[in-house]
Amino acid sequence: MKIKNPILTGFHPDPSLIRVDDTYYIASSTFEWWPGVRIHESKDLAHWKLITYPLKEKRLLDMWGNPDSGGVWAPDLSYHDGKFYLVYTDVKVTDGAYKDCINYLITAENIMGPWSDPVILNTAGFDASLFHDDDGRKYLLNQYWDPRSFHHPFYGIMCTEYSEEEKKLVGEPWVIYKGTPDRFTEGPHIYKINGYYYLFVAQGGTVYAHQERVARAESLRGTFMTQPGEPMLTTLDAPFHPIQKAGHGSLVQTKTGEWYFAHLMGRPIHHHTESVAEQRGWCPLGRETGIQKVIWDDDGWPHIVGGHKGMVEVEAPVDAAGCEGEARSGKDDFNEKGLGLSFQTLRVPLEEDTMSLQSRPGHLRLYGRQSLASTFLQAHVARRWQSFTFDAETKMSYRPKNIQQSAGLSCYYNTKNWSCIQVTWNEKYGRVIDVTATDLGKTFSVYQENPIPVPDDAEYIYLKVQVRGISYQYYYSFDGELWQETAYRFDSAKLSDEYIKAVYDAAFTGAFTGMFSVDGLGTALPADFDYFSYQELDMEVDGKYI
């Protein structure tokens, strides 16, 4: 059996991979999207299912007002003596000299919870992980942030002992590894193998220069020596390779003794006018999760099978029996059982006065709240782009009476980069359809003074987006059969980390599509969504099968 990369498509960065008996789990970052931390499950490392979000209570996570690309960075999942441990970072500041990274620890006896109240560990840096030594002691590792002027902000990897009895860090921290001249040393994970402490770290920044380095020492307080030669994993020198940005991951051993490394990766797409080698392209799907097989040389150093670039197809474990994977395409008819796991909201959970599945049976009701530019309370429910070619569609009942009221279908990266097709109100026509976008903080309307009138007798308006690689376009219908295209084709690149990073430091997520409702009057005018459909397509776009 072959494993096809990526194993987690769409925005799933910073994988933390473990095995418990016959089951593998991956925890991945969610940043400002609620609930926090996605956990996938597999029996064979090839087929994965999303099973839970551990951070689904405000006692565990409150991101009210968090900046774009703040929130939950690089969770670390571990298992020791019958207990799951989850370390996660809530980043409150992203730009400038300071980060204000609050590192927490929670535990549970079952991966589905309940989870303990959080222990605050430190705020010294992000990408924290917990190492369980074989003598029973535990140590917290984290990227060590340096806020001083004229210093590189990535100071190294900090290590501090953790007392489970006292529920706090104890003793003085120390720097166990400074990294190589590639800098940006982060994402630490330690494994004790054959008498050595192996430290796996990401370097180069989570961009096209990304890489994974390995160092080892005979004790935690010893000198960690970097593996000789090239990085264990990187695609810096391979601009035409299908896998890019490879780095930041974690190691696991199968029951039969094979080794695998789950890692962050990206799949760029390009405009016809661009050089693939120079610009490297755009990743609207965000940073995804891939996996590689690992072998060890005679000197005890790990290597990626197939070379440091990694492979798209990887040999599955010899004991892989196969299992059912996640069905990404589907239609949600919004019954009272709750939203599907693929949906998330921004920063905080939506309470009953903002989101309801009971107010109008068979519908998702969103009561109008703040705009798509808000870092506080948006009535906005969305899911990841997980393919370069898909259709997303919804059917909405909505009757606005003011220019402050709007609702519709979004394609969203962050508060400063998004687009939507919306139903709103106009002085000349009354209820209308418009297409609006914000590009690096500047908002524009496609139809300006001549929006599309909605017939008075139209109870429902059908809205759709067709994503086709490097571009996407919105459509509307009043009967669900005859569709009209809107007058603007959007650039998918503008919903990517690469595009936003040209202006803003923090850009670490990916494109989402979903439903929203805005009401600036404070009347919480509801929009009722009858269904949401997401259908991935197998097709060629711009001559490339994706």
- Amino acid, single-letter form, for residue 146: D
Q: Which residue from 95, 91, 207 is spatially nearest to 143, judged by alpha carbons?
A: 91
- Structure token pair of residue 291: 């996996």
Tokens 């695609």 identify what position?
Answer: 235
- Lookup: tokens for 329: 């395409």
Q: Output the CA–CA distances (angstroms, integers) from residue 184 to 119, 153, 213, 474, in the order listed.
A: 27, 8, 11, 40
Element (DSSP H or E) covering residue 278: helix 276-279
Instruction: Give residue for tokens 């630490």.
Output: 188
Read off the DSSP letter of residue 224: P
Active site residues: 14, 186
Backbone φ and ψ for 386, nearest 5 degrees, come out as -120, 10
Residue in the structure block whose two tokens are 């965000």: 286
The distance between the two most distant Cα atoms of the chain, rounded to a whole number of Å, is 78
- Residue 508 contacts by C-beta under 8 Å, 6 or more apart in sequence? 13, 29, 31, 69, 73, 206, 286, 287, 497
Burial class of residue 249, CB neighbours in 10 A (0-12, 13-18, 19+): buried
Q: Which residues contact 441 (CB under 8 A, 6 or more apart)?
A: 416
Q: For residues 10 and 284, give the distance between their C-alpha atoms in angstroms, rounded to a whole number.
A: 8
- Strands (E) across 370-429 are located at 379-384, 389-397, 405-414, 417-426
Alpha-helical regions (H) of 72-189: none
5: three-class secondary structure by DSSP? coil
What distance in Å separates the CA atoms of residue 52 and residue 113, rounded to the nearest whole number?
9
Beta pairing partners, 350: none
Residues present in the chain in total: 546
DSSP 40-69: EEESSSSS-EEEE-SB-STTT---TTPPTT
- Alpha carbon distance 91, 104 (integer Å): 11
Cβ neighbours, 10 Å, residue 122 = 17
